[in-house]
Structures are given as C-alpha cells and as structure tokens.
Amino acid sequence: MVKSHQPATWRCGRFLFDFSKRKRPLVMGILNVTPDSFSDGGQFRTTKDAIVQAELMIKGGVDIIDIGGESTRPGAVPVALQEELDRVLPVIDALKNLGVALSIDTYKAETMRQALKAGVDCVNDIWALRQEGAVHVVLECGIDEDKKEGCGIVLMHMQRDPLTMQFNPEYKDVITEVIAFLQEQTDCLMNAGVDRARIAIDPGFGFGKSLEHNLQMLAHFDLFSKLGYPVLAGLSRKSMLGKLTGKEANERVASSIAAAVMAADRGAKIVRVHDVPETVDALKLWEAIQI
C-alpha cells in the first residue's frame, strides 16, 4: 500500500472526501447515456434506464456517479453539443439529490457549465481542460456561491485524440512522459487560480497507449502518487483486459475487479468502474487486510 505523497482530502463540490478516514479508494460508477460506448453503449440511453442503473450503483456502495453523454472509445465520432446536453441534463436533475457525488464526463466547456449549474460536483475531462473555455468554467462556475466550495476536477492524460489515439502510440518512457504532462497541467490550473485541493489526476489507461504501455503504468502506478494528488484508475473492461484474457467487454468483470484491486494496492484513491457492487465487495476485503 502506497502511503507517501498522498493528499488528506479531495474537495468534490458538495462533498469533501477524507482519505485519512478510509483506506479503500472511492468507487466512481460509470453511467454512459450513449448509444455507442464500448462496453455498455445503448443500455442506459433513456433517463428512466439511467436512473434505475444509478439506484443500483447507490445500493452497491458507489461514492461518485460519472455521467457521460459522448463516447470516448477509440475511433469515437464527436457528438454535437445540444445532443450531449439533451442526454445528460435530465439525468443530472434526477440524481442530484440522491446523496452521492455526481461527475460529468465531458471535454466541452458549455457542457461543463450547464452540468455544474444543474448540480454536478465534479468535472472529469479526458482533455485535461485543454479545450477552449474549460479552465474558465471550472474557475467561474465550479464554485458554490453560498458555500464557496469548488467542484472536483479530474485531469486525464491522452495522446492525440479519441479518433487517432490508438494509431501506433509511441513513448520513450510512458510513465515519465505521462507524469510530466500531468505535472504541467496541474501547474497550469493552480497558476490560473484553482485550489490544489480540488484536483485529481488520471494517467489515462487505454487513451493513446499500447498493451505494454498500460501494463507498465499499472505495474508502477504508485509513481503517479508522487505528484501529490488523488490518482484515479480507469481500467474497467478496457481492451487491455480483453487482450490478456480473450474475453469480450461484458465478460471482463473478473479482470476489471482484479485491476481495481491492483491499482488500490499501488495508491489509487479513485477507481472508475462499470461493476460497482462487485468492485466494492472486493475493495472491502482488500481494505480489511491493510495495516
């Protein structure tokens, strides 16, 4: 278990997660309101279906629900702004008072803006707030006017973009280069005035990485904690697991849980998963043997 370089808390909108009072990572449940996500595309397209799935996650012990209206799988085609908003805003409105944190999985500044106003607690951005207007949104719209509490921010590393990221990704040293990128982006945010306590980082498994790159990052996942931010591990049902096991996306539950536990053992503070109850159970066992 990684103990050094770990932040004590993470400010996530209405929620302040205190890592000194818990050993297991936060579980972020994936709720894709899309027709084409790689694992569960089309399953929760209607608001009613999304609510049912969210309620199952809450019953299973989820800490954060990550709502996405646009697939970011390799080769995914971008979705128009209004279509994305039409998918996610009704779901946010339905879930905002259920007692768990909500996250918006988007790179569009206007989607961030409207989602924050609608009640989400976190912005989870595969582009690490590099799209026009994104930093301004988390500075201006990510603060509660009464409580002065900022939204959580997850900055992810991605090589190139979703359309091209898996076309022969190359690194001289994947871990060093990912850390350097995340250091640069977190520094930029703090220089812009964002409170460090709001920031989490994600090395971006599967986003412009080969199987070898992904395995190197998982094996040495503890190195990302040296930046001093909560580190998110997003390995659930990813193609790297399919390449190792030969299983289709919906058959990768066991390997996804194993990956989440490996990441927890190497310092992950957040795990982003499809299979919430199973992952929570596995992490409870992992937590029980931590000293």
Residues noted as catalytic: 238, 272
Q: Which token pair is 28?
A: 């972020």
Q: Assign 58 to helix, strand or coil.
A: helix
Our CA angle for 63, 65, 68, nearest 5°, is 160
Distance CA 211, CA 216 (A): 9
Closest alpha carbon to 88 in 121, 56, 52, 120: 120
Determine the length of the chain.
291
Distance CA 253, CA 275 (A): 7
Distances (CA, A) of 254 to 58, 100, 214: 21, 25, 18
Distance CA 139, CA 194 (A): 6
